[in-house]
Every structure is written in structure tokens, then in C-alpha cells.
Amino acid sequence: MATGRTHRPATRSRGIPEATVARLPLYLRALTALSERSVPTVSSEELAAAAGVNSAKLRKDFSYLGSYGTRGVGYDVEYLVYQISRELGLTQDWPVVIVGIGNLGAALANYGGFASRGFRVAALIDADPAMTGKPVAGIAVQHTDELEKIITDNGVSIGVIATPAGAAQQVCDRLVAAGVTSILNFAPTVLSVPDGVDVRKVDLSIELQILAFHEQRKAGEETVAPDEVASAQAAAQDTPGAAAAAPAPLAPHRAAPAAGTDNGRQGPDGDVPAVMPA
């Protein structure tokens, strides 16, 4: 998922919790699959299983939309598909621009999930003149110079940023200035935007790092009794192997920023320098 959103503190637009909104697309997908199999109705239990959530949660989520179910029967699939689509704003057409047609941008342009849900790729934009005019996913790439014109001409309000990190903020500023109010950011940067603009972030690297954390923990649990090491928590919480030569973590001394000296090089771990490269 995209991690977090920016601004808009209590996004409770007269009813629907943010967490619920984030699950509606999930329900919609499951319902669409049922619809294609011509299943007429579905119970909260079945649908919850298909969407991978708790059935009580699903019912509560739907209760924010209204009372669209029939007790003793369940939910009418087609009707619910429409209601959720309407709530999400998918009954209208959303022109979208993708800025930065590198590997990722091209992949996004080719991603079928966009076109099938009310999103239309209005334009592909790249700063590289060599890319201009080149067709990607059947659409000719346009140069960044045209950005403002493209936005206004097509009435684009949603932009996707797939540029390198260095260009992201600048592109973002231009998009916002031209009228875009929702941004999906794939660049590994924190974008700053004015109030009223929504930003969602998708960060591949972060997802992997979160997995690595759990992976490391799983590996550690096998070897050490995980219970009640509370006291040691502050002291050393690393893997058994690496624990040995770690510099005393508590020591508030270390006044001189030892930089890459004692902590940069981690002996027993060996494999990789602790200092992270760019």
C-alpha cells in the first residue's frame, strides 16, 4: 500500500472513516469477481473471507454507507458494486497523468488496473526529449514543457509521479500549480504540498525494509527464548550473532561523534558494512 497520506487531519467526511475507505476497493474487487460469476447475493461472511477481512468489520464498514443488506439473505452483489463505486467516485471518469516514463512509469502505463475502474491515462509526460513522441502503452509520450497545458486541457486532477527522487518535488509543485489536487507518489521523497492536496505514497524500498524487520525477528526467535528479556531490551536487541561486539548502546558518553569509527564497522556481523550507502 502507499504509506500514509498527507494533511487532511480527520478525514471523516460526514461519516466514512479513513480505514473504511481504504477497504472499499478491496470489497469492490471481490464483488466484481462475484458479479462476473453471476452470483446474485453474498453474505458478509463469504465476502469477508474473499476480501481477507473480519466479517464484523465488513458489516460495520458497510453500515457507514447505509443499510444495503437484507437480513437473513445477505447483500445483492450488483447493487453493492454500484453503491461502493458511487461512494468511491468511480462512476465518473478520472483522467490521470503519469509523469516520469522510466521503467516504473511504463509499467504503470501498461497496468490494466487503471483503465478498468474509471481511470483513464490522459497523458504520459517525461523530461527526456528523447522520449517525446515515443509510444508507450499506445500513448505518445509528451515533454514536460507541455505539463501545464495538458493538465488544464484535460481537466486532470490526479497525477502520478514516477520520476527520480530529485525531480519529484519540482514536478509536484508544477502539478499542483496547474490544478492537480491528488497525487500518487512513487518517488522515494517526502513531498510537501499545500493544504487541500492529497498525497499518497507508494514506496517499494520501505515495504521491503518492513519485511526485513519481521524476517530478522523470526530468525532471532528460533535461537533465543523470546520471553521476558525486558531488561535486555534497552541494552541490546540485536541478533544473537551481532550482539557480541556492539558498542555499549546505552552509553550517553560518546560525546565525540565517532562517526564511522566504532559503530560504523560491525565486527562479527561482517557481511555488510553497517553504514548504508545511498
Using rule CB under 8 A, residue 163 touches its own copies: no
Using rule CB under 8 A, residue 104 touches its own copies: yes
Here's the x/- map for its own copies, 237-276, by CB under 8 A: it reads as xxxx-xxx-xxxxxxxxx--xxxxxxxx-xxxxxxxxxxx
Using rule CB under 8 A, residue 174 touches its own copies: no
Task: With CA atoms as reference, report the closest residue to 24 among 114, 89, 94.
Answer: 89
Please work out, in degrees rounded to the nearest 5, the angle formed at the alpha carbon of residue 253 by the alpha carbons of 247 and 256: 90
* 3-class DSSP string for 35-82: HHCCCCEECHHHHHHHHCCCHHHHHHHHHHHCCCEECCCEEEHHHHHH
The grid coordinates listed for 76 are 445483492
Using rule CB under 8 A, residue 148 touches its own copies: no
Select from 53-61, 122-130, 131-139, 145-153 the region that touches DNA (CB under 7 A): 53-61
- Residue written as grid cell 558498542: 247
* Residue of 1, 36, 52, 72 that binds DNA (CB under 7 A): 72
Q: Contacts with its own copies in 36-95 (CB under 8 A)?
A: 36-37, 40-41, 46, 49-52, 65-68, 70, 73, 76-79, 81-83, 85-94
Amino acid at position 138, single letter = G
Distance CA 161, CA 120 (A): 16
The grid coordinates listed for 97 are 497523468
Among its own copies, DNA, none, partner that 207 touches (CB below 5 to 8 angstroms by kind): its own copies
Contacts with DNA, residue ranges (CB under 7 A): 9-10, 12, 17-20, 43-45, 53-57, 59-60, 62-63, 67-75, 241, 252, 255
